[in-house]
Structure 1
Amino acid sequence: MEAKAIVKYVRISPRKVRQVVDLIRGKKVNEALAILRFTPKRASEVVTKVVKSAAANAENNMQMDRDELFVTSCYVDQGPTFKRYQPRAQGRADILRKRTSHITVMVGDKKEG
């Protein structure tokens, strides 16, 4: 059995969030939270919240034991990109792309694959 938590429209580039998510895939939930706590990336704070939410969903909605939970899968999808203009020299303009992410974390009681 698996429980899931999703956060959408996080204003961090998916490429940067994937670096953090790759650290916790397949780990026990307590170990994953310890890793995230000492990861010096801005995305680690958001991923920590999602892992805690998924663990709470498993504990409260599916009556699973929190100490036995693993991060079975976690992935990051690209959300909409906000496009803004930045003035440059000689009347030109550059496009700034402010990227967003959708983060999904699934926890279960068995370690997958």
Structure 2
Amino acid sequence: MEARATAKFIRISPQKTRIVARNINGLPVEDAINVLKFTPKKAAFEVGKVLHSAVANAEQIPGVDIDSLKVKQVIINPGPMWKRIMPRAMGRAYRILKRTSHITVVVEES
């Protein structure tokens, strides 16, 4: 049986978040939590919160052994972008895209 959790509109680039997500894909949940705890990136904190939520969702399913859970899949999709402008020389303006991410973590019993 699998359980999932999703966090939407997280204010971090999907490109940066995927680097962290690749490190925990396929690991047992306990190992994945330890990897995220000692990864010095903002994305590790955000993915960790979603992973804890997925484990809590799995606890609600009757007959699931929490100790045997593993991370089946971590999906990072781009969310909407905030468009901002940066003033430049001679009256010009450059566009800045502040990117957001949708993070989905799926855990299953191994």
Task: State whether TM-score is above 0.5.
Answer: yes
- Per-residue deviation, residues 17-62 of structure 1 (Å, max 9, x unmatched): 0000000000000000000000011100010000000001001234
The normalised TM-score by structure 2 is 0.97
Name the SS for the 2:35 alignment partner.
Answer: helix
Which residues of 2 match residues 1-113 of structure 1 at below 5 A? 1-110=1-110
Structure 1 CA distance, aligned partners of 2:68 and 2:107? 10
Structure 1 unaligned blocks of 5 or more: none
Q: Sequence identity of aligned pairs in percent?
A: 49
The alignment partner of 1:106 has SS state of strand
CA–CA distance in structure 1, aligned partners of residues 48 and 99 of structure 2: 20
C-alpha distance in 2 between matches for 1:82 and 1:61 = 38
The amino acid across from 1:82 in the alignment is: W
| SS in structure 1 of the partner of residue 77 of structure 2 | strand
Structure 1 segments of 4+ aligned residues over 3 angstroms from their partners: none
User: How far does the alpha carbon of each residue in 1:61-100 deviate from its partner, in whole angstroms, 9 at most, with x for none?
Assistant: 3441211000011110000011001100110000010000
Aligned residue for 2:40, secondary structure, equals coil
Q: CA RMSD in A?
A: 0.8
| Structure 2 residue ranges without an equivalent (≥5) | none
**Greater alpha carbon shift after TM alignment, 56-65 vs 11-20:** 56-65
